[in-house]
Amino acid sequence: MLDWLVRHRFGVAVGVLLTAPLLLMYFHGRRGEGVTFAERLTVTLAGASQALANAVVDFGGGLFRDYALLVGVHEENERLVRENERLLGEAVQAKRLAVEVQTLREALGFRERRKDLRLWSGRVIGRELTPYYRVARVSVEVEGDGEVRPGMAVLTHAGLVGRVVRGVGGYADVMLLTDGRSRVAGEVLGRGVLGMAVGTGRTDEYRVRFQVSISETPLEEGAVVVTSGHDRVFPRGIEIGYVTNAANRRQVGPFVEYDLAPAVNPAIVEFVFVADGGATVSPRGGGRGSVGGP
């Protein structure tokens, strides 16, 4: 008998599992509403088994959703981040190129307008800032057998930058307008008021002072100051800057002094022109508008 049960254990187990519920239903129907111990045990075991199965299924499903499915989402997010960084880099590059193109267009336009000047192209390669001196070093593309000489005006399409104080080959040291030694003869555009633009030499800001005769009519806010050419160093008509805080003008001896914001911020300028034909600066400073060497 035991051997027979062992040989047919699968069929016997299936038969018992199929017959047991039927017998339980039969006895339950005959006993009415009473609950037997066997029924209570069966329901308890079935409930526990079902709860365990639900927990296993929920855990497996959550694991699949949180890891298996999110693997693709994580990879997609990384791809999108890389794509966003690439597009951002291209946008920055395109903006930089657009600014350079616009700068070159304006520079070419300036060359066309000022055909009276012989202009050499230059690039700022270094800056030296101290409490008293503001000097920039420029690499100049000298044409032919030309030579960079002290006194040459350095400018951009937007306005004046300064003057050359030392030239060696294709390199030049440039005294900026804001240098404490800088002096530029200027005039108020449209007014004919003459004066002198003087560098402040301050380290905390790029400012220039514009001194005019005390007998002149007060200047208005935003008045444009350009080079007058009277110092024989700078060509006439190059913008120097704009009057700011006109109401805060002050008297300095026989002059009235105004704050002047330079037309060109030398701290950020990269490309410049060097105007050939400027007057040579006296090594000791010989006259109005001339300065000594560094």
Domain residue ranges in the chain: 118-276
Alpha helices by DSSP H, the chain: 2-7, 9-31, 37-63, 70-113
Q: Which residues contact 12 (CB under 8 A, 6 or more apart)?
A: 5
Residue 197's Cβ-count burial label (10 Å; 0-12, 13-18, 19+) is: buried
pLDDT bracket for residue 292 (50, 70, 90): very low
Q: Classify 70 in phi/psi space as left (phi over 0), alpha (psi -120 to 50) or beta.
A: alpha
Average pLDDT, the chain: 77
Report how far residue 289's alpha carbon sits from residue 134's, in angstroms, rounded to the nearest whole number: 17
User: What value does the CA radius of gyration of the chain take, rounded to a whole number of Å?
Assistant: 44
How confident is the model over 217-256, as pLDDT tens digits? 999 999 999 999 898 889 899 999 999 989 999 998 899 9
Among the ranges given (131-135, 187-191, 259-263), the one the predictor scored with the smallest mean pLDDT:
131-135
Assigned token pair, 220: 């208005």
* 20: its two tokens: 């047991």
The mean pLDDT value for 41-45 works out to 67
- What whole-number distance in Å separates Cα of residue 241 and Cα of residue 230? 17
Bridge partners of 122? 140, 272
C-alpha distances (whole Å) from 200 to each of 197, 258, 262 are 10, 12, 12
Neighbours of 271 (CB within 10 A): 15
CATH code at 118-276: 2.40.10.340
Confidence of residue 294 (pLDDT cuts 50, 70, 90): very low
Residue 281's pLDDT is what?
36
Those residues with Cβ within 8 angstroms of residue 2's Cβ, 6 or more apart along the chain or in another chain: none
Confidence (pLDDT) at 38: 60
Query: Is the model's pLDDT at 161 over the cut of 60?
Result: yes
Is 1 a residue whose pLDDT tops 50?
A: yes
Residue 197 has pLDDT above 90, yes or no: yes
> Above pLDDT 70, what percent of the chain?
74
Say if residue 210's pLDDT is above 50.
yes
178-189 tens-digit pLDDT: 888 899 999 999
Sign for the pseudo-dihedral over CA of 33, 35, 36, 40: positive
Average pLDDT over residues 202-227: 88
Asked whether the predicted pLDDT for residue 41 surpasses 80, the reply is: no
